């Protein structure tokens, strides 16, 4: 009985924790893109994004195709989110992750 009470208390505590905040790029993507783009879209062999410039170009292309009229910052934020979540491409010069550093998987100074 004592263990059940502890487990219940732990589950209530975990449920009370705030959910992790989504980045702007993630919010834009889940709102406007994820209905048509499943995770398979990003890791399939025939994907159109092969590096950072083509990833950003694809985000720009598709947002324009559906008439979103995103600003350059919106395109970059969605590309950052996709890069952090799926691709791990070397970022373009001056491109930072939403956490303020280089995107995960980026190796500074290595080539």
pLDDT digits (tens, 9 = 90+) for 37-84: 766 566 556 778 899 999 999 999 999 999 999 999 999 999 999 999
Please write the tens of the pLDDT for every residue from 72-102.
999 999 999 999 998 899 977 665 544 444 4
Considering the entire predicted model, what is its pTM? 0.63
* CB distance 99 to 61 below 8 Å: no
Pick the CATH number of 23-96 from 1.10.8, 1.10.760, 2.40.50, 1.10.3470: 1.10.760
Q: Which of 90, 58, 88 is nearest to 76 (CA)?
A: 58
pLDDT in tens, 7-33: 555 555 555 555 568 899 999 999 988
Stretch (H or E) spanning 15? helix 2-16
Question: What does the domain layout of the chain look like in residue ranges?
Answer: 23-96
Q: Tokens 């990833």 sit at which residue?
A: 55
């Amino acid at each position: 009985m004592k263990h059940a009470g502890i487990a219940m208390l732990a589950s209530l505590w975990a449920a009370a924790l705030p959910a992790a905040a989504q980045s702007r790029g993630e919010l834009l993507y889940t709102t406007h893109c994820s209905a048509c783009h499943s995770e398979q879209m990003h890791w399939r062999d025939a994907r159109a994004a092969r590096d950072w410039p083509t990833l950003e170009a694809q985000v720009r292309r598709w947002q324009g195709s559906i008439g979103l009229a995103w600003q350059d910052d919106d395109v970059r934020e969605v590309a950052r989110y996709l890069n952090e979540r799926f691709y791990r491409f070397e970022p373009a010069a001056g491109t930072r992750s939403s956490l303020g550093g280089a995107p995960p998987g980026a190796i500074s100074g290595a080539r």
